Structures are given as C-alpha cells and as structure tokens.
Chain A
Amino acid sequence: MNNKSNILKSPTGMKAYLPRTALELKELEEMIMDNFSLWGYQPILTPTVEYLEALKVGMGDALEKGLYKFIDYEGNILVLRPEMTAPIARSIAASLNEVSLPLRVSYCASVFRYEEPQAGKNREFYQLGIELLGAGDAAADAEAIILAIESLQKTGLEDFNLDIGHVGFLNGLIAELSLTEEMEYNIKAYLNKRDLVGLNNYLAGLEIEGKELLEEIPLLRGPVEVLERGRKLADNRLSHAALDNLELVYDYVANYGFLDYITFDLGLIRGFDYYTGVVFEGFTGGLGYNLCGGGRYDHLLERYSGVEIPAIGFALGLERIRLALKNQQKAMRQEKEKKILLYDEDNVDSARMAFKLARVLREKGVVVIIGPRSLPGVEYSSAERQGKPVPLEGVLQALYFKDGKTLQIRDLLTGKERSMDFADDWEEKIWENL
C-alpha cells in the first residue's frame, strides 16, 4: 500500500468544507437551532462512537451493513453513530433519574454511514433534529411536524412539502389479513422501496383473501381526503385508530396555517424499525433526496430502560437544505463587514498600536484583522487602488498608522482616504472617523 497517495485525500465520502461553505452551513445551523430553542428544545451532546450492541437494541439488525465499525482495546465493537435518535434514547434511558419528562432535546451533529461508493452521497453528514420524549398524543405529533416545517421555512426555503403517514395503518391491514411474519417483512420491504413490480409479483404468488387491499396502498397518497379512502379500505381497529390520529394531526397543522405544506401518504413506512406511529418525510423539487424525516417511536426507550416512554422526533439534513437553497438561488448569509489594521514590519510601535486599536474596535463587535502593510493586494496609495479588486474577502476598510501619530483610514471600495490624529482622545474620536 502506498500511503503517500492518500496524503492530500479525505477518506471516501468525507468532506472538508472551506470557510465560504462552512459559514453558510453554520448560519443555517444557527437559524434552525434558534427556532428549536423557541419551542423549548435544549441541546444534547452524545458520544460520536457507541457500542454496537447498544445501537442494535434500538435499531435492529437492519442498519448493521451500513455502519463504520472498529474494535477497542478491550475487544468491544464500536460504531460511529449512523443517526442520533438511538444514541439519544440510550443516553436518556441511562439517566432517567436525572431528567424530568416531557423532555425536549435538540442536536446538530455529524453522523456516519457507509453508503455504497457509487451513490455519490457523503458518508459523514450533518443532521439537525429534535426529540420530544415523554409525550404520546397527537398534539406532540403535530408539534414535531409543525416544527420541521417552520424550521425549513425559516431558512428561506420555498416550495417544499412533508408527506405524513402512520405505520399503524399498514400494521392494522396486515393483522386483518392474518399474514405470517415473513409475509409482513417482505411486503413492508417492497412498500418501503416502492418496488411495485416486486410487490405485485409477490402478492400474485400468495393465496390470501383480501390481498388486493395491499395493492391499493401505494395509491393512498394525496390531500386529507386520502384518510377517508383509507377508512373505507381498512376494516380494523388499529388502522382506524391510526387514521383518527392523523385526522387530529391534520387539524392541528391546518390550524397553525401550514396546510399547504402537507400531504398524506398511507404507504409511507420509513426504514427504521423503531417507528410505531406517525411518520413523515420532507422533500423539495429539484433535489433528488429527502430533506428531513422523522416519526413516533413509543417503544425505543423501553427497549433500553424497561420503562415505556412515548417519543417523537425528526432530523433535517443540513447539507441538503443548503443545496436546496442554492437550487432556489437563495442568498444564505450576509457577510460581516471586516476592517484590516496594517502595521509596518520594521516598526514595532505600529504593531503595538494596531493591537490596541483592534481591541477597542472588537469590544464594539467590529471584525478586525491585523496584518502587515506589505500584504499582497493591500496597496496603499489610493491612486494605485483605482479599479483593483478589494484584497481579502469582505475587508472594506484599511487602517494604517503612519509615522505612529496619524491614522490613515482608507475605504477599499472607493479608494477614498482620510486621516486622523492619533492623540490621547483617540478612543472617542475613532468612531467619528470610521
């Protein structure tokens, strides 16, 4: 193995974001986290690595193939967290005596999935999300859905939509038709992937009365009327309870004014095996991937702690939101105006004064960079400045201590220059001159 060839590479599917992009991502993160906190959600931090056996309790075996695994010195199998819900559930379950329910937590964290190399998807990516633990009613479902919509809305994104379903609807139908566990597994796998060819071929080989009900499921998507169609189709308590739940959610979401953002999809079952109730996914045209996903998981904490604690949560893909905003040509950040303070390399005094002045300016929130006068691109004479690009991104003003007594202030966009005596009262006078 020639290691040298890897020196400049990030590991496959991992990415370094340089400031231009990182700033946009940070800004989005702040906007969304601020909104989470308006709803009373507080941040939670969990370890980047977890024990495999701990995650498997929560996530089942399904995800194991996509995990980054390694072994610690004691021989335990560790994994890089592939999502945040199970780690949060585990952490809360481990400290139930320290929290009071209902608990609202939020996170922005990187998660790791070993996606197939050709998928063109990142293997490390950033998720923002919330978990609402200890609340099991439709109002909590609506809270999660509304918060997801509102958070996307606050980033400036337009033209997005959430599909809402309920795993209880399909589970009710499956019980009604008394399918075996194997049939249930296969049918759910086909529906999850929307492999309608596979589903129809599979159903054609089954001798089961009423199986045409299952063929109808992929068609049950649309506005709220879909719930009525579902009600006519299913003749069991579980499915009807799921529909009652969805109707309440609809009522709350519509009442909040977000009716335009939701669609019902009774065939929606999300990949994770811990979901027990309402599930939802958000997407926007022009981006081939989901923006967000979430749902209710009422038994996950019980798997860890033995105590039943209903919960719901969702995660938003930070990088995907940024891509969607780019697609919609939305500006993501207003760059903060910066100033540069220049010193002479052969004059220690001028550098000292630069530090002093910078401190005063920064105390008022001005962004100040300190640099040598010989910095490429910071030509000093205004005549030379004409028509040349501004040096250093976002720097609009250069300040320079000429002979240690006068401060020259130059607007880098216009090249206009003025000067100010650097006398004892400079700390007051400086603001008039900037």
Chain B
Amino acid sequence: MGELVIALPKGRLMESVVDILKEAGFISRDLNIEEMSRKLVFKDEETGNSFLLAKPRDVPVYVEHGAADIGITGKDVILEHGKRFYELADLEVGACKLVVAVPEEKGIRGLEEIPEYSRVATSYPNITRDFFQQKGIQVEIIHLYGSVELAPLVDLADLIVDITSTGTTLRKNRLLPIADILESSSRLIVNSVSYKTSYEEIKELLARLRENNRER
C-alpha cells in the first residue's frame, strides 16, 4: 500500500475515525490511540501512512493546500470552510445538527418570530450568514470560537447557531432549538491533486470504507 498523509480530527471524532481507518487497514491495529493523540505527526511504519493531528476546523486547510493528501472532518466544518477539495465518502460517525437556538424565556418558537437585527452568536459565521440571507432575515453576526451558548446568558447575543448531537448542552443552558440548518457527519476529503497522484490508494480506501459501512 502506498504512503498517504492523513489529517485526523483531534477531539470527539478522533476515536471513531481511528477505528474506521484501522478496520480499513490504513492504520495498523496495534497503534495505541492515547499514544497517538499526544503527538502532532507520526508515521505508521506498518502501513507506511503518516498522520497529522489537527483541529477539525483546520483539517480542510491542510487538505486544500496539499499538506495532507486526505483528511477527515465534519460536514459542518467543510461547508463553513468552503469546498476547494474533493469530498469522497460519508463515514457516518459524529452525527450532529447545526441548529438555531433561542433562550427559552424569549418565547420565540419559529424563525419568523425572530426580531429584525437580532444578534446571532456562532462559530459558523459563513453558514449562518448564508442561512439567514436565504430566509430573508436580517441579523447581526457575532463570531465566537467556542462556548457559544454563553453569549445569550450574558446578553452578548439574542440567539445562537451551534451544533448539537443530543441537545443536552442546549437544555442545560435553557436554549430551545427552533430550526435545523443542516445535518452533519464526518466526511473523507481529498486534495484534488493527491486524488490523482495517489488514485489507487484512495480508490482502495473508498472501496474498503464502503464494504465496512455495508457490514455495519
């Protein structure tokens, strides 16, 4: 098998992604994930592949510029980044939704009830801008890098756009989802030149992923 540079998403997706790649034979089975996550870059001598551990949001950047041949990250991240690489497979893990949520006490139950020029806190400014523009609602976007649910609590924003998988964090902060923007899961993305220069390896990976998906 040829040698690919693979960008893996650090954090909550990492473990399931590594499992899938192990199953597909692209990471050797005896590699210890704890040990891996302590390093930034490592080479798997058995498969010949190299791995770099990046924040999920940075994975598209490594792939787009060819620093990594392939990468795995969420569809939400891909859409926010803008697509300038190939998206080849849905790994069907890390499912979550990007939703619009408002503080319960505001009494807002739908998008049409959102007052004009509301302030929206989000770490997805591009998707949020496009979404509200399409719906014809004028909002002011406040770009935060994390803990978005904090913004309405301190009156930094009137509502938020954020990802949720089970809804627990939203509920804990008394936030009510009122609209879905998109459903996300982890995707396999590939640099457009690597797709060609490492075509055989990538085709092989795709075939194995598909096979394993079917068995699951």
Q: A288-B65, A289-B66 are in contact. Are A193 and B86 (CB under 8 A)?
A: yes
Q: A288-B64, A288-B191 are in contact. Are A198 and B197 (CB under 8 A)?
A: no
Give chain B residues whose Cβ lies under 8 Å from the Cβ of A122.
Answer: none
- Residue contact B193 to A116, C-beta cutoff 8 Å: no
- Residue contact A287 to B84, C-beta cutoff 8 Å: no
| Per-residue contact bits, chain A 362-377, to B (CB 8 Å; 1 contact, 0 not) | 0000000000000000
- Residue contact A287 to B66, C-beta cutoff 8 Å: yes
Count residues of B near A (Cβ-Cβ below 8 Å).
26
Q: A288-B64, A288-B65, A290-B192 are in contact. Are A161 and B197 (CB under 8 A)?
A: yes
Q: Contacting B192 at CB < 8 Å: which of A118, A221, A288?
A: A288
Give chain B residues whose Cβ lies under 8 Å from the Cβ of A193.
Answer: 83, 86-87
Q: Contacting B83 at CB < 8 Å: which of A195, A265, A286?
A: A195
Chain B nearest CB from A341 CB (Å) reads 47
Chain A nearest CB from B135 CB (Å) reads 21
**Which chain B residue lies CB-closest to A291?**
B193
**Which chain A residue lies CB-closest to B195?**
A194
Q: Which residues 40-95 of B have a CB within 8 angstroms of A?
A: 61, 64-67, 81-84, 86-90
Q: A119-B64, A197-B89, A198-B87 are in contact. Are A221 and B193 (CB under 8 A)?
A: no
- Residue contact A194 to B86, C-beta cutoff 8 Å: yes
Q: Range of interface residues on chain A? A: 20 to 34
Q: A196-B89, A197-B89, A197-B187 are in contact. Are A283 and B193 (CB under 8 A)?
A: yes
Give chain B residues whose Cβ lies under 8 Å from the Cβ of A283.
Answer: 193, 196-197
Give chain B residues whose Cβ lies under 8 Å from the Cβ of A265.
Answer: 196
Give chain B residues whose Cβ lies under 8 Å from the Cβ of A288.
Answer: 64-67, 191-194
Give chain B residues whose Cβ lies under 8 Å from the Cβ of A198.
Answer: 87
| Per-residue contact bits, chain A 274-287, to B (CB 8 Å; 1 contact, 0 not) | 00000000011111
Q: Which residues 161-202 of B have a CB within 8 angstroms of A?
A: 187, 190-197, 199
Give chain B residues whose Cβ lies under 8 Å from the Cβ of A397.
Answer: none
Q: A116-B82, A120-B65, A197-B187 are in contact. Are A287 and B87 (CB under 8 A)?
A: no
Q: Contacting A197 at CB < 8 Å: which of B61, B81, B90?
A: B90
| Per-residue contact bits, chain A 114-130, to B (CB 8 Å; 1 contact, 0 not) | 00101110000000000
Interface residue A141 (Cβ < 8 Å from any Cβ of B): no
Chain A nearest CB from B104 CB (Å) reads 34
Interface residue B203 (Cβ < 8 Å from any Cβ of A): yes
Give chain A residues whose Cβ lies under 8 Å from the Cβ of B194.
Answer: 288
- C-alpha spacing A66/B61, complex, angstroms: 20
Interface residue A263 (Cβ < 8 Å from any Cβ of B): yes
Give chain A residues whose Cβ lies under 8 Å from the Cβ of B199.
Answer: 221-222
Chain A nearest CB from B141 CB (Å) reads 17
- C-alpha spacing A118/B191, complex, angstroms: 16
Q: Which residues 287-302 of A have a CB within 8 angstroms of B?
A: 287-290
- C-alpha spacing A263/B118, complex, angstroms: 54
- Residue contact B86 to A196, C-beta cutoff 8 Å: yes
Interface residue A219 (Cβ < 8 Å from any Cβ of B): yes
Of A116, A195, A198, A290, most B-chain CB atoms within 10 Å: A195
- C-alpha spacing A287/B90, complex, angstroms: 26
**Which chain B residue lies CB-closest to A221?**
B199
Interface residue A163 (Cβ < 8 Å from any Cβ of B): yes
Give chain A residues whose Cβ lies under 8 Å from the Cβ of B82.
Answer: 116, 118-119
**Which chain B residue lies CB-closest to A121?**
B84
Give chain B residues whose Cβ lies under 8 Å from the Cβ of A263.
Answer: 196
- Residue contact B64 to A285, C-beta cutoff 8 Å: no
- C-alpha spacing A265/B203, complex, angstroms: 14
- Residue contact B193 to A195, C-beta cutoff 8 Å: no
- Residue contact A161 to B87, C-beta cutoff 8 Å: no
Give chain A residues whose Cβ lies under 8 Å from the Cβ of B61.
Answer: 118
Give chain B residues whose Cβ lies under 8 Å from the Cβ of A197.
Answer: 87-90, 187
Q: Contacting B87 at CB < 8 Å: which of A116, A119, A195?
A: A195
Give chain B residues whose Cβ lies under 8 Å from the Cβ of A119.
Answer: 64, 82, 84
Give chain A residues whose Cβ lies under 8 Å from the Cβ of B191.
Answer: 288
Q: A219-B203, A286-B66, A289-B66 are in contact. Are A196 and B88 (CB under 8 A)?
A: yes
Q: A197-B90, A198-B87, A219-B203 are in contact. Are A161 and B66 (CB under 8 A)?
A: no
Q: Which residues 162-179 of A have a CB within 8 angstroms of B?
A: 163
Of A194, A265, A284, most B-chain CB atoms within 10 Å: A194
Show 5 residue pairs from A and B whose CB-CB distance is below 8 angstroms, ordered by the A residue: A119-B84, A193-B83, A196-B206, A197-B88, A198-B87
The 10 closest A-B pairs by CB, nearest first: A288-B66, A194-B86, A283-B193, A285-B197, A196-B88, A197-B90, A195-B87, A288-B65, A288-B191, A197-B87
Chain B residues engaging chain A, CB cutoff 8 angstroms: 61, 64-67, 81-84, 86-90, 187, 190-197, 199, 203, 206
Add 18 more A-B contacts to A120-B65, A195-B86, A288-B66 (CB < 8 A). A116-B82, A118-B82, A119-B64, A119-B84, A161-B196, A193-B86, A194-B190, A194-B192, A196-B89, A197-B187, A221-B199, A222-B199, A283-B193, A283-B196, A287-B193, A288-B65, A289-B193, A290-B192
